[in-house]
């Protein structure tokens, strides 16, 4: 009797250390897998970012160092290429791009927000047809309309005019903006709108005081995408402008001449051109992430 009881107690308590060591082993394996996944994620991220990093690094090289084979990783950095870019009348092109991008984005939001609100909260009978009409304008190749646009701009003396680009960029970005903003509006609970209406708020008050604060991240995401499309647009700019209204993409083409490709100087120009959008995206990154998670991009 006395010897059997301790034996049973030992049998009950014996496997506990084994279970503890098994759980510790599983935690160790999970930590190792987590570390490996983190390293793999960083490696993939650096792989995708490596072209941009190489572009920035090349911008600090001399032309002779930028074209070596194999490429030079260790070199004496210099700002000569940036000085050459800024000294080549870069600022007027930058100003034209800023005007065309900011004004067209403002017009897109001023027109797109009411349109998206109407198509989501107050839909018409043929809402699907209206939305398809908006998006169908993006299916037309740009090259098919550049000649009529050139003739029309020449008839009204609007060639090489920055406001021509403003109008075209607004028309170019408005369809995608309406679709994105409509998706954001659909994510807003209907109870919020009904509560505001029960308090006596009119249509304008509901849109301005209730919807826009909720929609701020979505509007920021839409604005940033429109800014990127406008800032990078090249086809209209190179065909409808010459000297007075040319934008930075047209300016960058000037580094590809019959004498050769100035790789380091082109990299410096591309770095300077990319900085404004990168800065804006970094400032609005919180709103951008929140906006893209509201359901517009799935």
- Render pLDDT for 67-118 as a digit per residue (tens, 0 to 9): 888 888 888 888 999 998 888 888 999 999 999 999 999 999 999 988 888 8
The pLDDT assigned to 170 comes to 95
Find the mean pLDDT for residues 24-41. 75
Domain extent listing, the chain: 80-296
Contact (Cβ atoms closer than 8 angstroms) between residue 165 and residue 146: no
Residue keyed to tokens 């960083």: 42
Query: What integer best gives the mean pLDDT of the chain?
Result: 81
- Res 1: pLDDT: 47
The contacts of residue 32 (CB under 8 Å, 6+ apart) are none
**106, 108, 103, 113: which is closest to 216 by C-alpha?**
113
How many alpha carbons lie under 13 Å from residue 265 in its C-beta half-sphere?
20
> Structure pTM?
0.78
| Cα 114 from Cα 116, distance rounded (Å) | 6
Of 181, 179, 267, 278, nearest to 227 by C-alpha is 278
Structural contact between residues 207 and 146, judged by C-beta atoms closer than 8 angstroms: no
What share of the chain in percent tops pLDDT 90?
27
- pLDDT above 80 (res 235): yes
Q: Please give the pLDDT value at position 296.
A: 42
| Topology adopted by domain 80-296 | MetI-like fold (1.10.3720)
For residue range 135-192, list pLDDT tens digits in order. 888 888 888 889 999 999 999 989 999 999 999 999 999 998 998 888 888 877 777 7
Higher model confidence: residue 137 or residue 61? 61
More confident residue, 27 or 99: 99
């Amino acid at each position: 009797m006395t010897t059997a009881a301790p034996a049973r107690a030992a049998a009950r308590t014996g496997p506990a250390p084994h279970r503890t060591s098994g759980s510790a082993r599983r935690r160790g394996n999970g930590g190792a897998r987590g570390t490996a996944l983190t390293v793999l994620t960083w490696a993939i991220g650096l792989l995708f970012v490596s072209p941009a990093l190489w572009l920035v690094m090349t911008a600090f090289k001399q032309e002779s160092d930028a074209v070596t084979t194999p490429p030079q990783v260790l070199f004496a950095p210099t700002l000569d290429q940036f000085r050459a870019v800024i000294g080549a009348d870069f600022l007027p092109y930058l100003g034209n791009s800023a005007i065309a991008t900011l004004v067209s984005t403002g017009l897109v939001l001023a027109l797109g927000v009411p349109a998206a609100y109407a198509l989501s909260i107050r839909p018409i009978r043929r809402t699907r047809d209206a939305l398809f009409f908006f998006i169908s304008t993006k299916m037309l190749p740009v090259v098919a309309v550049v000649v009529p646009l050139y003739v029309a701009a020449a008839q009204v003396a609007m060639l090489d005019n920055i406001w021509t680009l403003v109008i075209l960029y607004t028309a170019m970005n408005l369809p995608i903006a309406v679709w994105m903003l409509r998706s954001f509006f659909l994510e807003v609970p209907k109870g919020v709108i009904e509560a505001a209406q029960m308090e006596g708020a009119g249509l304008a008050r509901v849109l301005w005081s209730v919807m826009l604060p909720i929609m701020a991240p979505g509007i920021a995401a839409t604005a940033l995408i429109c800014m990127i499309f406008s800032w990078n647009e090249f086809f209209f700019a190179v065909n409808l402008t010459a000297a007075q209204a040319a934008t930075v993409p047209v300016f960058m083409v000037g580094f590809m001449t019959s004498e050769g490709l100035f790789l380091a100087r082109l990299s410096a120009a591309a770095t300077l051109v990319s900085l404004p959008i990168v800065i804006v995206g970094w400032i609005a990154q919180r709103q951008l992430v929140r906006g893209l998670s509201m359901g517009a991009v799935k």
